[in-house]
């Protein structure tokens, strides 16, 4: 059982969950934890060291020889790999193209899931990803799944000026064997296609209050 409150937000690529999770965390005074950034960081590590993402054995070896330090700065999760901050590289084309393959590797998921769970030992958190409600914190009663139509999601990613095959990532994420993207049975689903970030965050706050959570809404 987590020592602190956990709000789990899952959903497919470019559904708006990162922006919503960040806005919600600020509003509640919780720490925002971006688990996609962790999978992206490991992907960047493999790509930058020339390790093919399909070579599971070498990826695992790389992980065991790298010090992964997760922390918090300015209310948001941070990650360092052997003391290096990978943030500037995380939304590059190469990372976008390879992250879903890296995220299928059970040992990668095992290591990152343990680090994700550790956040709830220290902080109240809003954590977003693909498997937060289904696998990382299945016991939290506060689960949300944010969706948007494929057209809206492709448009959102393109408007950020980023090359990203959203549909291809969704397919790998939804069909992998370990912790696939699924809608947790008890998750509240929100279609964000026609909603603003604040609109979605507001719907979540309303739902949390309905569930009896006493929160300091800022
Ligand atoms: O921002 P976007 O929704 O495009 O992706 P992200 O949250 O940064 O996640 C990047 C990739 O990491 C996903 O496509 C998944 O392959 C993987 N991921 C995962 O497997 N499990 C998570 N909890 C978070 C991300």
Q: Is the pLDDT of residue 1 over 80?
A: no
Sheet bearing 31-34, strands edge to edge: 68-73, 76-81, 31-34, 125-129, 6-10, 143-147, 188-191
Which two three-digit tokens encode residue 97? 């193209």
Which pairs from 106-109 meet CB under 8 Å and 24+ separation?
106/177, 106/178, 107/56, 107/59, 107/60, 107/63, 108/39, 108/42, 108/59, 108/60, 108/63, 109/178, 109/179
> Ligand 1, residues 43, 130, 170, 182: which to mutate, most atoms within 8 A of Cβ?
130
- Ligand 1 pocket residue status of 99, Cβ below 6 Å: yes
Backbone angles phi, psi at 132, to 5 degrees: -70, -50
Backbone angles phi, psi at 71, to 5 degrees: -150, -160
- Ligand 1 pocket residue status of 13, Cβ below 6 Å: yes
Which is the closest atom of ligand 1 to the Cα of 173?
Answer: 16
**pLDDT at site 215:** 77
Q: Is the pLDDT of residue 162 over 80?
A: no
The Cα diameter of the chain in Å comes to 50
- SS3 per-residue string spanning 115-169: HHHHHCCCCCEEEEECCHHHHHCCCCCCEEEEECCHHHHHHHHHHCCCCCCHHHH
Q: In degrees to the nearest 10, what's the CA dihedral of 160, 163, 166, 169?
A: -130
Distance 13 CA to ligand 1 centre (A): 7
Q: Which domains does the chain have, with CATH numbers?
A: 6-209 (3.40.50.300)
Least confident segment among 56-60, 62-66, 101-105, 150-154: 150-154
Query: Where residue 164 falls among pLDDT bands split at 50, 70, 90?
Result: confident
Q: Is the pLDDT of residue 154 over 90?
A: no
**pLDDT at site 174:** 95
- Ligand 1 pocket residue status of 104, Cβ below 6 Å: no
User: Can you tell me whether residue 2 is helix, strand or coil?
Assistant: coil
**pLDDT at site 133:** 98
**pLDDT at site 3:** 81
Distance 1 CA to ligand 1 centre (A): 24
Report the pLDDT averaged over residues 18-45.
Answer: 97
Distance 107 CA to ligand 1 centre (A): 16
- Percentage with pLDDT > 70 across the chain: 98
**pLDDT at site 158:** 84
Distance 36 CA to ligand 1 centre (A): 4
Query: Where residue 217 falls among pLDDT bands split at 50, 70, 90?
Result: low
| pTM as predicted | 0.95
- Percentage with pLDDT > 90 across the chain: 86
Query: What does 5-67 look like in DSSP terms, one character per residue?
Result: -EEEEE-STTSSHHHHHHHHHHHHTPEEEEHHHHHHHHHHHHHHTT--TT-HHHHHHHHHTS-
Distance 203 CA to ligand 1 centre (A): 23
């Amino acid at each position: 059982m987590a020592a602190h409150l956990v709000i789990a937000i899952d959903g497919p690529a470019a559904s708006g969950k990162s922006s919503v999770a960040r806005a919600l965390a600020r509003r509640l005074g919780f720490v925002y934890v971006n688990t996609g950034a962790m999978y992206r960081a490991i992907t960047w590590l493999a790509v930058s060291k020339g390790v093919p993402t399909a070579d599971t054995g070498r990826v695992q070896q790389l992980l065991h020889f790298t010090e992964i330090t997760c922390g918090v700065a300015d209310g948001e999760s941070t990650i360092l790999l052997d003391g290096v901050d990978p943030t500037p590289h995380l939304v590059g084309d190469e990372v976008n193209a390879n992250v879903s393959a890296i995220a299928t590797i059970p040992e990668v998921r095992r290591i990152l899931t343990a680090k994700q769970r550790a956040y709830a030992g220290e902080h109240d958190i809003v954590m977003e990803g693909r498997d937060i409600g289904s696998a990382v914190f299945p016991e939290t009663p506060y689960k949300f799944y944010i969706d948007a139509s494929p057209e809206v999601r492709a448009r959102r990613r393109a408007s950020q000026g980023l090359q990203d095959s959203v549909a291809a990532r969704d397919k790998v994420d939804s069909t992998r064997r370990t912790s696939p993207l699924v809608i947790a049975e008890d998750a509240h689903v929100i279609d964000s296609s026609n909603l603003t970030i604040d609109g979605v965050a507001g719907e979540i706050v309303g739902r949390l209050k309905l569930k009896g959570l006493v929160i300091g809404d800022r």
